[in-house]
């Protein structure tokens, strides 16, 4: 997988047509000859009428196939661009590069990573929505895609209409962590402490409307808490302040915080998914700890522009699933805390619809808007 774009080759004329038009030449009429005179050659020596007729029929049949259909059969005939809606070095970026490397080998084409961070992933989303629907521009996104239609009501595109989910990649639960100076050791103690100190407990996130903000706002609403949100420009600076004790809590992807948990620099309280995390098997889920109905498992998946030919979508979906079945790819993904799985496109599309509906209700009730 490369970071630099390569210009794809342009389409070439149909080979059969090239052969046909180079094999036949109009007869050269000698001066003074008529069409019926011996001086006019009506065919080239050694080329039979039957051969020409057969070749002409072959060419006509080839030319009768619409160009888009031939393009679908040839896909991919040039490098693919993989849009990554977040900055280099983050979980989405790392997952995208792992997937892109294996995908490129399977497809026999370079997959070029293009990081387009900002605005909650909508910059990359806008680029995808405006791209040609040919399968050469694809995007890796996480559950934030399900937030954006509600968070950004004035987008220049409609996420659910202009972009099509193609393939599920995997999911990773988040983990609620606190600074070591906070006098709590489990989720019940955290909730009790927050209720006893309304407004005094703060939490950081990578920004308003981010995947670290909305679930915490939801938890606050569900448990009738009063927490103070401190948004940062990215989760990296927030993690630094969490370790130093400047902020007290964060909800983070496990890969982003696991090294600090293992080194004892932060204290984990509970994971956010329906099941315990493989990388933190002794840590209970929020639901196990008493927060009923709290289930937040961010997924990752690949998307294309709506209107991409079904044959191309099917090829891409199958290639991604093949990449995810590769043992080395699975190992690298697991190191990032991602539980890889292969779904049908229909199942992934339903997941996106369900989460979009779920988070529309949550975000609307919280009255959070980005524009």
Q: Count CB-CB contacts under 10 A for residue 74.
A: 10
Reported confidence tier of residue 344, pLDDT bands at 50, 70, 90: very high
pLDDT tens digits, residue range 124-133? 999 999 999 9
Q: What is the average pLDDT score of the chain?
A: 86
| CATH code of the domain occupying 174-289 | 3.40.190.10
102-157 residue pLDDT tens: 999 999 999 999 999 989 999 999 999 999 999 999 999 999 999 999 999 999 99
**Alpha-carbon gap, residue 255 to 261, rounded angstroms:** 10
Q: Where in the chain are all domains bearing CATH 3.40.190.10?
A: 174-289
Question: What is the percent of the chain with per-residue pLDDT over 70, rounded to a whole number?
Answer: 81
Taking domain 80-172+298-366, whether its CATH number is 3.40.50.720 is answered by no
Which of the two residues, 63 and 273, has the higher pLDDT score? 273
105, 162, 152, 143 alpha-carbon torsion, rounded to 10°:
-40
Per-residue pLDDT tens for 243-272? 999 999 999 998 889 999 999 999 999 999
Pairing between β-strand 249-253 and β-strand 228-231 as defined by DSSP bridges: unpaired
Tokens representing residue 345 in the block: 């496109």
What pLDDT does 52 receive?
57
- Please say whether the beta carbons of 288 and 274 come within 8 A: no
**Confidence bin at 371 (pLDDT 50/70/90):** confident
Per-residue model confidence as pLDDT tens digits over 8-29: 343 333 333 333 223 333 444 4
Tokens of 180: 């070591």
Q: Which residue spans of the chain are classified as CATH 3.40.190.150? A: 80-172+298-366
Cα–Cα distance list, 207 to 57, 118, 200, 226, 295 (Å): 64, 10, 20, 18, 21
């Amino acid at each position: 997988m490369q970071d630099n774009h390569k210009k794809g080759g342009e389409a070439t004329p149909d080979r059969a047509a090239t052969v046909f038009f180079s094999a036949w030449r109009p007869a050269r009429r000698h001066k003074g000859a008529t069409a019926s005179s011996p001086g006019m050659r009506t065919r080239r020596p050694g080329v039979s009428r039957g051969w020409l007729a057969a070749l002409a029929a072959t060419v006509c049949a080839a030319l009768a196939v619409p160009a888009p259909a031939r393009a679908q059969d040839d896909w991919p005939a040039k490098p693919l661009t993989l849009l990554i809606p977040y900055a280099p070095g983050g979980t989405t970026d790392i997952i995208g590069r792992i997937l892109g490397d294996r995908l490129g080998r399977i497809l026999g084409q370079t997959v070029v990573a293009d990081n387009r961070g900002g605005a909650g992933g909508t910059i990359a989303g806008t680029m995808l929505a405006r791209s040609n629907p040919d399968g050469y521009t694809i995007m890796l996104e996480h559950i934030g895609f399900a937030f954006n239609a509600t968070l950004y009501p004035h987008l220049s595109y409609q996420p659910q209409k202009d972009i099509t989910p193609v393939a599920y990649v995997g999911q990773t639960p988040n983990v609620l962590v606190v600074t070591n100076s906070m006098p709590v050791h489990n989720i019940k103690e955290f909730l009790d402490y927050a209720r006893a100190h309304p407004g005094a407990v703060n939490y950081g996130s990578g920004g308003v409307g981010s995947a670290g903000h909305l679930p915490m706002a939801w938890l606050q609403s569900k448990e009738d808490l009063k927490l103070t949100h401190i948004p940062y420009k990215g989760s990296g600076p927030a993690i630094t302040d969490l370790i130093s004790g400047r902020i007290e809590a964060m909800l983070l992807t496990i890969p982003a915080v696991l090294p600090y948990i293992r080194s004892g620099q932060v204290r984990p309280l509970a994971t956010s998914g329906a099941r315990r995390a493989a990388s933190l098997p002794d840590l209970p889920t929020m639901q196990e700890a008493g927060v009923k109905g709290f289930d937040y498992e961010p997924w990752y998946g690949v998307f294309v522009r709506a209107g991409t030919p079904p044959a191309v979508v099917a090829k891409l979906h199958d290639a991604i699933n093949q990449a995810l079945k590769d043992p080395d790819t699975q190992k690298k993904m697991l190191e990032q805390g991602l539980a890889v799985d292969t779904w049908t496109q229909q199942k992934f599309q339903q997941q996106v619809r369900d989460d979009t509906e779920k988070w529309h209700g949550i975000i609307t009730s919280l009255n959070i808007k980005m524009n």
